[in-house]
Amino acid sequence: MLSNYCWIVILIFLDKPSTWKSLQEDIYVSFAGRMIGGCMDTLCKLLGTRFAPVDPFLEKYKHDGFIWTLESCEMTAPDIYRTFWQMREAGWFKYCNGMIIGRPDGCKDKRDFALIDALKQGLGSLDVPVIYDADIGHIPPQMQIINGSIGKMEFTDGKATVWQSLNG
C-alpha cells in the first residue's frame, strides 16, 4: 500500500562557514508560508508574460502566506534593486510573510550603490522580515528550495533552520 506522504531528505554539507543576516537587524526571526522564488536573473525576464502566472498562484494559496526565496547569479546591485521594484509593482509580494535572499554570485556595486542598498530600498518598505546572505542560490554551500512547498524559517543570530513540507 502506498502512503500519501512523501519524505524528502536533503543532506547539506556546510564546508564553508556562512552567516545569515537580518535586514532589520533582528536577533530572532520566525515566519512560515508557501515557498516560492528562484533566480532573479530569469524571473525578471518573465515578469508580465504568460510564462509567469504568479497572481493566480498567489490568490489560490493566499491563506498560506508566502516565503519568497530569491537569489541572483549575474546582476549588479542596481539590477537587483530594479527587479525587486518591478516584482513589488507587479504585486508579487502581496501575502508575503518573509523573504530569504541568497548570496548573489557575481554581484557588483555600481558607484556608491551596494547590495545592502538594493535590499533596503527594494524590500525595506514591505514590512516583512528579510533574511539575506542565505545558503541558497549559486554559491556553495547551498540548499535546495522546493517551490510550492510549505516552509518555516527560524533565524537566530546568524544561523537559520529551514523546514519544507510537501503536505502542509
Evaluate if residue 158 carries a pLDDT over 60: yes
Structure confidence at residue 157 (pLDDT) = 87
Average pLDDT over residues 1-12: 50
Are β-strands 66-71 and 28-39 bridged in parallel, bridged antiparallel, or unpaired?
A: parallel
Q: How far is CA 15 from the centre of its chain?
A: 22
Between 1 and 30, name the one with better pLDDT.
30
Structure confidence at residue 79 (pLDDT) = 93
When computed from its CA atoms, the radius of gyration of the chain, rounded to whole angstroms, is: 16
- pLDDT, one tens digit per residue, over 63-88 is 999 999 999 998 999 999 999 999 99
Is 0.95 topped by the overall pTM? Answer: no
| Local confidence band at 35 (pLDDT 50, 70, 90 cut-offs) | very high
Evaluate if residue 9 carries a pLDDT over 70: no
Domain residue extents for the chain: 21-165
| Local confidence band at 46 (pLDDT 50, 70, 90 cut-offs) | very high
3-state SS string for 57-82: HHHHCCCCCEEEEEECCCCCHHHHHH
Structure confidence at residue 143 (pLDDT) = 87
Evaluate if residue 1 carries a pLDDT over 50: no
Length of the chain: 168
| Local confidence band at 4 (pLDDT 50, 70, 90 cut-offs) | low
Distance set, CA 150 to CA 27, 116, 132, 147 (Å): 24, 28, 20, 9
- pLDDT, one tens digit per residue, over 128-150 is 999 999 999 888 888 889 999 99
CATH code at 21-165: 3.50.30.60
